[in-house]
Amino acid sequence: MKKEEKRMKKAQWGWKKTQIIFASLVISTACVGISTPAGAETMDELKATIEQLKQTVNSLETKMQSMEQKQIKTEEAISQQDAKADYNASASGLKLPEGTTMSVYGYAKMDAIYTDTDGTVKTLYIPSSVPLDSEKDDYGDNDFTMHAKQSRLGFSSSSDTEYGKFNTRIEGDFYGAGGNEKYSNSYGFRLRRAYGELGHLRAGQEWSTFIDLSLYPETIDFGGAAGSLFMRQALIRWTQPFTNGSFMFAAENPETTLIGKTLNEDGLDFTNTQMSGSGEFMPDFIARVNYDASFGHFSVAAMARDLIVDDGVYDDDEWGGAVSLNANIPTFGKDHLHLELNYGNALGRYMESEFADAFINPVTHDIETNDQWGGFVSYHHYWTDSLRSTVVYSLAERDNDMNYVTDAVNKKYQSVHTNLIWSPVARVNIGIEYLWAYREVENGEDGDMNRVQTAFQYKF
């Protein structure tokens, strides 16, 4: 539009300048005629000459106006061609609605991991994969692997509306199915987050409302501390801000996980069997209050769940719940102390330990809830502006009832993460981390694992 206006103004000024030149010539000619001596021509002849000049000027003005109109039409045609060319040039690119901004983000990350005793998962820490001492002969020692599966890609957009901000996000990484180390180390892209948000309402797949992400400790390991919360799922959430905080309420995707012992023909304990619930018709209900003060960030979350199984053999449901208390407390400089405590009789799959949500009675086939608890304490310290460390101790434990499970069921997990991370420039993290992990089952058997992991992360 600006190009077109400049072109039009330039054309109009050109014709005005031409008019001024012609008018000057005519006036000059007239002045010469007036200054001629009286003997050269009579007054009548002079008047005739002036009249002829007037006619000439009028004729020239008519011609110039005609040419000016033609020039304007030509300029308009050229502008239309330029606009069409600009549209065609942008048609193959990214077009966003007016007032919308979009960003692409993510990172490339390579992990190199050494484990003294390889369990069933060697690319990230999963508490139940830590081998017991009695099982270590079944696994290899001194395992080393390298991978880039954690690399991430995301898209987000934002625009203003009469209802507030309209935001969208789609994000994934490469921890999906497929791939192997024998050929090309190719792994499937999987969905992490995908949601839309209008004002205070968010709907889609997102981190569970039960989790306060601002308290996640920084670890190089992708699995996370044993007793920390971990869950992404489909949800509908309303967030209501208030002074120094917010209140959140959500309905989230239900999924029941159960464990129970099977009996042999003599009615004696045989083995523990895990199963998924079925027929869930009530979402998980979660509420959380966040509060920010000069002395830290705090949150309290509560959850109510209807645990359900209905598969033709088992048919029962049982309500349960859980609470989570969280604190992020500044200490010295940029250092922070993080605390998380989780407790409930339906905590289950929401905790990194992945305990089953409840037991299934082997005789009556009823659902039986059980107490579970877990959490962590973490300290984040800056040695310099570009060098930092995090130390995390975490515990997760379940109160097992031997009427419903055998003594081979998992009872307790512990983990310790300690790392050193260097950021030579913004968006680049190079680090090394030590992980100690422990698992104990109900009969007293236990085992631990030691792991050293280095990582190179490049954000964009």
**Tens digits of per-residue pLDDT, 357-400?**
999 998 899 999 999 999 999 999 999 999 999 999 999 999 99
How many C-beta neighbours within 10 Å does residue 154 have? Answer: 17
Assess whether 208 and 284 both reside in one domain: yes
Residue where a domain stops, chosen among 91, 122, 153: 91
Assess whether pLDDT exceeds 80 at residue 109: yes
Assess whether 13 and 132 both reside in one domain: no
| Cross-strand partners of 429 | 457
Beta-carbon contacts of 115 under 8 Å, excluding residues fewer than 6 positions away, are: 122, 142, 143, 144, 449, 450, 451
What total number of domains does the chain contain?
Answer: 2
Assess whether 41 and 114 both reside in one domain: no
Residue 400 lies in a domain: yes
Assess whether 270 and 330 both reside in one domain: yes
Assess whether 147 and 80 both reside in one domain: no
Assess whether 123 and 10 both reside in one domain: no
DSSP secondary structure code for residue 88 in this structure: H
Residue where a domain stops, chosen among 39, 68, 91: 91
Sheet bearing 257-263, strands edge to edge = 269-276, 257-263, 358-360, 367-368
- Phi and psi, residue 294, nearest 5°: -65, -25
Assess whether pLDDT exceeds 60 at residue 28: no
- The region of weakest confidence among 46-60, 208-222, 241-255, 279-293 is 46-60
Q: State mean pLDDT over 91-102.
A: 80
Assess whether 329 and 398 both reside in one domain: yes
pTM: 0.79
Assess whether 73 and 131 both reside in one domain: no
Residue 96 lies in a domain: no
Assess whether pLDDT exceeds 80 at residue 457: yes
Residue 46 CA to residue 38 CA, distance in Å, equals: 10
Residue 116 lies in a domain: yes
Task: Count the residues in the chain.
Answer: 460
Residue where a domain stops, chosen among 91, 119, 135: 91
Q: How confident is the model at residue 38 (pLDDT cuts 50, 70, 90)?
A: very low
**Tens digits of per-residue pLDDT, 330-348?**
999 999 999 999 999 999 9
Residue 427 lies in a domain: yes
Q: How confident is the model at residue 81 (pLDDT cuts 50, 70, 90)?
A: low
Range of the domain at 61: 2-91
Assess whether 393 and 366 both reside in one domain: yes
Residue 178 lies in a domain: yes
Assess whether 383 and 419 both reside in one domain: yes
Assess whether pLDDT exceeds 90 at residue 10: no
Q: How confident is the model at residue 51 (pLDDT cuts 50, 70, 90)?
A: confident
Residue 7 lies in a domain: yes
Residue 196 lies in a domain: yes
Assess whether pLDDT exceeds 70 at residue 158: yes
CATH number for 176: 2.40.160.10
Q: State mean pLDDT over 174-203.
A: 92
| 8 A C-beta contact, residue 109 and residue 151 | yes
Assess whether 130 and 75 both reside in one domain: no
pLDDT at 91: 52
Residue where the block lists tokens 């509560």: 302
Assess whether 356 and 278 both reside in one domain: yes
Residue 367 lies in a domain: yes
